[in-house]
Structure 1
């Protein structure tokens, strides 16, 4: 019989039969220390979401730096992600890159969203060329929207373009995760209090188990924004852990 679909959401079919039982993937349980509890997690049901680790937010020549933001904090997750992602890949945990990458015509972007990036109307906003290299701000397939060079994307990784702070809004992210049978989500990227938090909250609302990986996450916002993010994740939306806790649990 032929497999039809994406395991574990796959049928086995031939000309006369369709097996709809969807055999589960073999479990890979680990015990993981988080801020508030010890978690029992099945890596066969887990995925890692890396959000907005792209040039416009993390590179000295990107959009945030152009408007005067110190992007040094946004680069802090690069090292921890370099250590964690290869190990997760080796255990068949999918890596999903959730990047802000707009249509060139911006037809799905409202005036209010464009205002965030160009509040005066005469600055460098969405789709406008960056002065240093001419890359259009946060435009799909541009240098500005690309993941920083220090983080390697492999062919088996999954890329999802987003158009709002939440990676679930108007994207196929939910459908992809459900086809993969992934219900426990690790979160990293920037900015913690904005796009990471909005994506994590939507994941929680959709019924996913959410784990923020603190050293793989950062923000260029004030420190109190980071503190509020960690508090709210622990209080309302999931758990907070550290990449070393994940790596230790896999030994």
Structure 2
């Protein structure tokens, strides 16, 4: 349909970050947005954030890490550990979305040719000549490990994905390295990040740490994260997050606050 001079046109990635053109005027003004405050408890005391400027970042809840026939399981990793966040996220995600919160699925998704993976990444994924590395096929073959567009890189079926959710692939432990995550978050006006998923001491912590270095407000939802590593490793991560990078809280406390907010509205 042909646009007339009086037809409003928006240019931008999000309603809070868009130019508008109307009757021949291109306006660079962004609308003033009313915050949606949410108060919940953390390990360090009460926290308040703006749901409209926040995102729940779900890290690596993928078939190759969480499915009994995935890459990790065939390497002998504990599926009890990697699947532990599932029930928490199944309860939290619908409540978070209903309150207007955005969801980021931050997942491993490598190139099929692996040309942008340095030797250290190749090594830690394989370890030996007989090992199965990134982009290679396991004995129970569901395709090359963690390649974009394959079964292994998909989010596990137990967690429902909504059309409005945002997907970002990574190819390092940190989700902020050599990809578009930071640009997407800033374009959406997101300043606060809540982290969940696996593994607490690897991709979750690396991504949270880089987020804090970039100036984001960071909250680690410790009961919605997990790792096969010894328990003391997670305790160390919780200590470091609270000391240096932000806050440690629980999905249970967040869910309680969301339920209370919805009952009051």
TM-score class, shorter-chain normalisation, is over 0.9
Task: Report what 1:2 is aligned to.
Answer: 9
User: Within 5 A, what are the aligned runs for 1:114-129?
Assistant: 114-129=122-137
Q: RMSD over aligned Cα, in angstroms?
A: 1.2
Q: Is the 8 A contact 1:7 1:179 kept in 2?
A: no
> How many residues are paired up?
251
Q: Distance in 2 between matches of 1:131 and 1:25?
A: 53
Deviation for aligned residue 1:17 = 1.8
Q: Distance in 1 between matches of 2:58 and 2:212?
A: 16
Q: Could you state the TM-score of these two structures normalised by the residue count of structure 2?
A: 0.91
User: Within 5 A, what are the aligned runs for 1:50-199?
Assistant: 50-199=58-207
Q: Is the 8 A contact 2:35 2:50 kept in 1?
A: yes
Structure 2 portions without partners, runs of 5+: 1-7, 261-265
Q: Distance in 2 between matches of 1:35 and 1:96?
A: 24
User: Tell me, what secondary structure is at the counterpart of 2:239?
Assistant: helix
1:238 equivalent to 2:259? Answer no
Q: Could you state the TM-score of these two structures normalised by the residue count of structure 1?
A: 0.96
Deviation for aligned residue 1:149 = 1.0
Q: Distance in 2 between matches of 1:51 and 1:179?
A: 20
Q: Distance in 2 between matches of 1:140 and 1:12?
A: 35
Structure 1 portions without partners, runs of 5+: none
Deviation for aligned residue 1:76 = 0.6
1:35 equivalent to 2:7? Answer no
Task: Report what 2:211 is aligned to.
Answer: 203
Superposed CA deviations along residues 95-129 of structure 1, whole A, max 9, x for unmatched, are 11001010101111112110001111331111111
Q: Distance in 2 between matches of 1:11 and 1:48?
A: 26
Task: Report what 2:5 is aligned to.
Answer: none
Q: Distance in 2 between matches of 1:22 and 1:228?
A: 42
Max Rg structure: 2
Q: Distance in 2 between matches of 1:164 and 1:24?
A: 37
Q: Answer with 126-135 or 14-23: which moved more.
A: 14-23
User: Tell me, what secondary structure is at the counterpart of 1:189?
Assistant: strand
